[in-house]
Amino acid sequence: MSEYILDLKKITKSFSGVEVLHEVSFSLRPGEVHALLGENGAGKSTLMKVITGVHHPDGGEIHLNGAPVHFSDTRESQQAGIAAIYQELSLFPDLDVAENIFIGRQPVTLGGRIDWRKLYAEADKLLASLGVHLELKQKARTLSIAQQQMVEIARAFSINARILIMDEPTSSLTLKEATDLFHLVRRLRDEGAAIIFISHRLEELFELADRVTVLRDGAYVDTRQMKDVTRDDLIRMMVGRTIKNLFPKQDVKAGKVVLKVDHLTRDGAFRDISFDLRQPLQWSFQCLFSDVDMFGVL
């Protein structure tokens, strides 16, 4: 029996002749939170979609509990115990919390009708077991993003998912909501679920993840224990070079104002922003960027 619940071996994937994953390997243990890290476009979401059967790999193998699998679509991967929660959430806005959890799998009475009493009782039991507080009859359209995520997670666990993929789940959450989510993720991990967690926020990965795998330009870089790496190590793995000196701190005296922003507002985006931008008194472009290869970064 493999120590891995999921084992990807040398996965390759191209879109219209452009290779976006090149022989990527990734292994997941039960009871771990495994961070997947890489710059924008590194191939993280594509790799997750290969796991869930949205995309089909051009090369390589996927092993689930030690046996090779080929998923034609997400229904098949779900049946095998893999659930994914993406940034774009997929609840039915006019159905309530309980209905969304059991969508397509509502309990029925002997007469073939939906057994509403059982549906609400089961939903209640499930949310209680996850430690999630939600109003069962609240319509999905009135839930916050964080609450919608909780419903999706509950749905995943109602189908006995043993692998949960979370692709940038915190990008539109407040700090408090993210903290609640981490609490739930840890709880699921402690019960033996395996969680793949994608985020660009390194601090939260240090808080949450047990291991980390880094991708760069569609290629596997390394897998490390989170406790054995530093922030700088991760950045170096992601971009392939050290960037800590990209903007070296220089002592400069502020000169004249070159840009003034005064009470700028754009409805729905930002409100009442004011600041001044000053030129350094002794302006020297060469000095600012002297010890880095800017063009290598750009």
Ligand X SMILES: Nc1ncnc2c1ncn2[C@@H]1O[C@H](COP(=O)(O)OP(=O)(O)OP(=O)(O)O)[C@@H](O)[C@H]1O
Q: How many residues bind ligand X (CB under 6 A)?
A: 10
Q: What mask, x for binding ligand X by CB under 6 A, covers residues 133 to 152?
A: --------------------
Say if CB 194 and CB 160 are below 8 A apart: no
How far is residue 199's CA from residue 44's CA, in Å, rounded to a whole number?
10
Work out what residue 81 binds among ligand X, Mg ion, none; the CB cut-off runs from 5 to 8 Å by kind.
none
The answer to whether 100 contacts ligand X (rule: CB under 6 A) is no
Closest CB to ligand X among residues 40, 286 = 40
H or E element at residue 220:
strand 219-225
End-to-end CA distance of the chain: 46
Structure token pair of residue 181: 């989510």
Binders of ligand X among residues 28 to 57 (CB under 6 A) are 38, 40-46
Closest CB to Mg ion among residues 140, 196 = 196
The answer to whether 45 contacts Mg ion (rule: CB under 5 A) is yes
The answer to whether 15 contacts ligand X (rule: CB under 6 A) is yes
Choose which of 5, 8, 11, 20 interacts with ligand X (CB under 6 A): 20
Closest CB to ligand X among residues 45, 158 = 45
Work out what residue 57 binds among Mg ion, ligand X, none; the CB cut-off runs from 5 to 8 Å by kind.
none
Closest CB to Mg ion among residues 150, 165 = 165
Smallest distance from ligand X to CB 165, Å: 12
| Percent of the chain that is helix, strand, coil (3-state, to 5) | 30, 30, 40
Work out what residue 42 binds among ligand X, Mg ion, none; the CB cut-off runs from 5 to 8 Å by kind.
ligand X
Three-class SS of residue 192?
coil
The answer to whether 213 contacts ligand X (rule: CB under 6 A) is no
How far is residue 236's CA from residue 225's CA, in Å, rounded to a whole number?
16
Say if CB 167 and CB 48 are below 8 A apart: yes
From 19-27, 43-51, 170-178, 227-235, span contacting Mg ion (CB under 5 A): 43-51
Closest CA relative to residue 122, chosen from 84, 94, 158:
158
How far is residue 151's CA from residue 148's CA, in Å, rounded to a whole number?
5
Structure token pair of residue 292: 């880095």
Closest CA relative to residue 33, chosen from 204, 231, 273:
204
Residue nearest Mg ion by beta-carbon distance: 45
The residues pairing with 119 across neighbouring beta strands, listed in sequence order, are none
The footprint of Mg ion (CB under 5 A) covers: 45
The footprint of ligand X (CB under 6 A) covers: 15, 20, 38, 40-46
